[in-house]
Structure 1
């Protein structure tokens, strides 16, 4: 049980009939153990079986003659399908009674268990080990592969010893063939030296499997790289798949003994043979592509034989190795046919592949001869390596390496041919490049002439386009201001009606209070007269305020009407200091009319040498009004926070800059503008005010008026929680004309 299944898979396929059976190699067990053989002892005879579950059956005292008649003889080394006395469900007991010579009594041995079940191992009534999970319900049974892990077995002082095993079978084992489930249970006794030797052999087999796995995986990646370099050579792709399948097979067998769960172990074992046989067909497919042979019935028949042989190998009860042996014979025959056919077609390089197959066949025959007639030679070591490894390792790799050398040789030849062709292409490319250069020079001269003509025509068209754009811009601005003037006039007329109503009723109320004060109020006496007089005086003051602010609002409306009747966007020399001061006061008193408790410090720093600037007073007034309203709103919101020592302030500065441009700065010490929205404030309909307090059009329209209407700039500098400063920069009259020319 220590040998690798991959070695069995390929080395004994053709030699299975020649190699001696495992049963013949086992030492013959005896009912009395007189001495411990150097090669160990397989406990494969003398076993009895009894279905049911009684813990007392593990005790030596129950092993009486009357009890022995209820136990059936059994050979647990057979597969579960060949043991009709073992039920597919439920728990049963295996028991082995043997005698021990006096010289061995009290000594310690090692017991190794190999099983396809779940079990508990008892010796002389003492539980030694539990493998897996047992239960009367088949769904509760979890089989376990102990892999012969050594169990210390100390022989008793009595002459008779009892080894009892309580086990439960896993029903799926009855479905698979004897090849994958070859026995129910095997037990082996070993001394410590033999146990160490077994471990060394096991390590040797695993090392060989891992080396083969690494070699095949490396070859797979190498040929995949060859294919990616030259996809026309598809033989590299199929050979990469073949070596990858072989690597998968050796990986499964190399790690098989490390798998303890029997369901996973069985799946990995089956996968190794699927990869092994499928890899053989992929090798044939690589040879078809390599030698340019068309696929036919033989190729597709191999695929059918692959499926049938795998089904028979997995589920057939009697065929054992023969389906795989027959399939590998067919694959090998097809590989030899393709190689010999290539040799007959004077493909000398195919001799490399033939040599690889010949070396593998020679090594296999040598291994078969030694396995049949001199098996002890296979266990010897040469240069610290077992002889069987020295024979099997090259047998696996020689065909693969031969095909790899063939493909590498073809790859080298193809690379050399590609190098030669590349040199030819470079020479032709140099000649073509010289011809193309001459053509390019001729075309360049023609293009230069055409470019000059195009530039002349373009300059004339650009002049015409500039004149049209200037006219279009003036028309658009005139239309905008005309529409705005009509809208302003309409709004002013609509406001004036309710405003006149409020003013007139305030005057009437004043006259009524005056009559009340001169008439009925005099009839009152004492304390009632004083209270009524105070109320009348307070009401009179309120009506005076209403009348005052009504007249002021009437003046504002009349001013709006005057502005609407103005030049409608026409530019006129304007005193910017007076314009800024007027709209600053207008915005401040407009806010105080809504919030009488609001107060702010108004600071003006006007450049007295500013002179008159040619602008549209009506449009620029709208800009300033929007900026002032925003400034007062900002300081009002910060005032609501009730910060200690805070005083609202709005500062307006006018200045003629060194470059001749005029700057109007509006600064407030309000909340500032957050960095997240700083880039969006000039976008239409974007506002940070609550719903109902802003439309989001003020700054957008102001930006358009300053930049498009006057060719200036509108910028903002702010610090969140500290200040905000808007700067309106207006060019001179000549600069305005140039800016308007290229802004439309």
Structure 2
């Protein structure tokens, strides 16, 4: 593996159109068009004409490389789907045949681990959708269409370290410029007559924005926004340099002339060439910065000839910047790779650009700070003379005032301390009283709920039983007694009996519904004994998973789902109330199967329902996770799912007490947690965390 990785720029085949089968390994692409996707869009007119298309590459790896952990990094200016050996491994952005619906994505070389085939030949396929607006911008901002690079772990780590160095340098420059901007804004507020501070504040603020945009550029994945931020950084960089020239004009009291206004025109022209020029690259910016630095140096040398004090500081700063920019431009033009050479783990690129941008700023700041310090020194001398006279006259009076102030502060502090202590005591008493009242209310409410539920259950049983008896009597009446009636009277009599039977069945159905609600209320209100015993949670979860699954299959004969279990073999026995935890698991499994059954009814045969159960043991806790790939939970109702009687199921299919009861069992009875992670139309995962009572870092997580 080379130190810089392997850039896959040769052997690509291109075909316009969109056919999902082109991702397969067996597709023969020999009739496709050869292409180098790393080139800019200006050199790839077939990409713009196609809009949507496919790229395929067959490459071979030596046995040594196949034994390594290979990572694929993608850098692109498009929206794409990446397939490796026929499998979709990444989707970047939004693809659409409508160019207006395409949303390009910048993955920033996110490492993708490749699962290699046993064969020597590997197949990489890319389905892309082109964003037509990229054609408006220069190759500097859109340097290439798509680059795929193979790297090892060491190369990825080194690349990340280099990116971290670049980002650190940008953040240091941003922080330096921002601090100097705040400093000179303070100078301007203190002395608004010195307008150089105002223009220098704008210059350093523009520089801070530029380096902020550069530092966080690769954190932006939306390519439209990333392109705008990249352009903004160069606009702020160049415009800020002209504001620095304006600050020097004001500082040295030089009249504005044609040179200054020509710099604004050159700024506009260089930005247009940089952004929209097809082959301008970064030369307009470097040339413009050299012009600005030369003008800044001319102004400071003119100030030196006029014997301006300390102007040599500014001249030295701009001279250093000019020399470094010339060296950087020369190396970039003739020895480009040399800029990436590291000196003391810092790239030469950073060593040259960091002081080149910072030296003029520091030089002007030192000059203005020196002027400010001289003015402050003169003012301080005059103020000291006034203070000496006033101090002699008011010394005795000040001593008395100091003593009185100290006594007042002491008294106020004591009053505040005592008031705060009394307030805390009062708050504690009020909180305790509120808690006692609430506890009493909840206890009374629980007893009242249990009593009402018991009282309701008896008449409900009476209604259900007599409805069943009435149905049986009507059946006998229908088969025996009505047969003795004359034939003309039998048909309306049978119809009346059938209608009455249906009414009684409805009464029984709704009675059962009310009975389930009453039983749920009794379960909520009853005081569980909480008797715990060592329990194999793996076996308990497996038992209730099968019970719930077969119960649903008994109701829906054509329902099938994949059951996946990932049990921790080292879970051991856990002290829990098995009946209560089983009830929690049964509720979670029932909800999971209901969700995938509902999604299967919507999605059809392409959907593969699956319920996964996983157990894990960590320091002081055990976790049981129930995950399904069903309909998910909408965000609007996520905070209501543990409320009693809240349900999203149709009438007759849920009481709204399952999750509420489960939450009480886990959190109140077992002192654990019940959390949910969901994404609508994708998945839902409930995680039950139960403390084991084992010590964690020398302390008990929770003693059951």
TM class, shorter-chain normalised? Answer: 0.5 to 0.7
> With CA pairs under 8 Å and 6+ residues apart, which has the higher RCO, 1 or 2?
1
Shift of the 309–237 alpha-carbon distance from structure 1 to 2, 3 Å rule, reads same
1:373 is displaced (CA, Å) by: 5.4
1:472-518: CA deviations, max 9, x gaps?
xxxxxxxxxxxxxxxxxxxxxxxxxxxxxxxxxxxxxxxxxxxxxxx
1:421 is displaced (CA, Å) by: 6.3
* Equivalent residue number for residue 238 of structure 1: 199
Give the TM-score taking structure 2 as reference length: 0.53
Shift of the 304–375 alpha-carbon distance from structure 1 to 2, 3 Å rule, reads closer
Are 2:124 and 1:163 equivalent residues in the alignment? Answer: yes
* Equivalent residue number for residue 152 of structure 1: 113
1:408 is displaced (CA, Å) by: 0.5
Supply the RMSD in Å over aligned alpha carbons.
2.5
* Equivalent residue number for residue 215 of structure 1: 176
CA separation in 2, counterparts of 1:266 and 1:232? 40
The match for 1:262 among 223, 230, 253 is 223
Give the TM-score taking structure 1 as reference length: 0.50
CA separation in 1, counterparts of 2:326 and 2:340? 13
Are 2:73 and 1:112 equivalent residues in the alignment? Answer: yes
The match for 2:51 among 82, 90, 97 is 90
CA separation in 1, counterparts of 2:37 and 2:142? 12
* Equivalent residue number for residue 360 of structure 1: 321
1:654-705: CA deviations, max 9, x gaps?
xxxxxxxxxxxxxxxxxxxxxxxxxxxxxxxxxxxxxxxxxxxxxxxxxxxx
* Equivalent residue number for residue 680 of structure 2: none
Question: Is the 2:41–2:47 contact (alpha carbons within 8 Å) kept by the matching residues of 1?
Answer: yes
* Equivalent residue number for residue 46 of structure 1: 11
* Equivalent residue number for residue 514 of structure 1: none
1:316 is displaced (CA, Å) by: 1.5
CA separation in 2, counterparts of 1:373 and 1:307? 29
* Equivalent residue number for residue 142 of structure 1: 103
Shift of the 165–377 alpha-carbon distance from structure 1 to 2, 3 Å rule, reads closer
Shift of the 420–390 alpha-carbon distance from structure 1 to 2, 3 Å rule, reads same
Structure showing greater radius of gyration is 1
* Equivalent residue number for residue 316 of structure 1: 277
CA separation in 2, counterparts of 1:356 and 1:189? 44
CA separation in 2, counterparts of 1:302 and 1:289? 16
Structure 2: give runs of 5+ residues left out of the alignment. 391-704
The match for 1:380 among 334, 342, 345 is 342
The match for 1:279 among 240, 245, 255 is 240
* Equivalent residue number for residue 61 of structure 1: 26
- Secondary structure class of the residue paired with 1:111: strand
Structure 1 residues 697-736: aligned runs within 5 Å: none
Shift of the 380–101 alpha-carbon distance from structure 1 to 2, 3 Å rule, reads same
Question: Is the 1:104–1:155 contact (alpha carbons within 8 Å) kept by the matching residues of 2?
Answer: no
* Equivalent residue number for residue 77 of structure 1: 38
Shift of the 368–312 alpha-carbon distance from structure 1 to 2, 3 Å rule, reads closer
CA separation in 2, counterparts of 1:367 and 1:304? 25
- Matched residues, number: 390
* Equivalent residue number for residue 267 of structure 2: 306
CA separation in 2, counterparts of 1:315 and 1:46? 31
Are 2:298 and 1:337 equivalent residues in the alignment? Answer: yes
CA separation in 2, counterparts of 1:375 and 1:348? 43
1:84 is displaced (CA, Å) by: 1.1
1:125-159: CA deviations, max 9, x gaps?
11110000101011221110000000011322223
Are 2:193 and 1:193 equivalent residues in the alignment? Answer: no
Question: Is the 2:293–2:322 contact (alpha carbons within 8 Å) kept by the matching residues of 1?
Answer: no
CA separation in 1, counterparts of 2:148 and 2:159? 15
- Secondary structure class of the residue paired with 2:114: strand
Question: Is the 1:122–1:129 contact (alpha carbons within 8 Å) kept by the matching residues of 2?
Answer: yes
CA separation in 2, counterparts of 1:411 and 1:351? 17
Question: Is the 1:212–1:250 contact (alpha carbons within 8 Å) kept by the matching residues of 2?
Answer: yes
Question: Is the 2:286–2:329 contact (alpha carbons within 8 Å) kept by the matching residues of 1?
Answer: no
Are 2:82 and 1:121 equivalent residues in the alignment? Answer: yes
CA separation in 2, counterparts of 1:427 and 1:345? 39
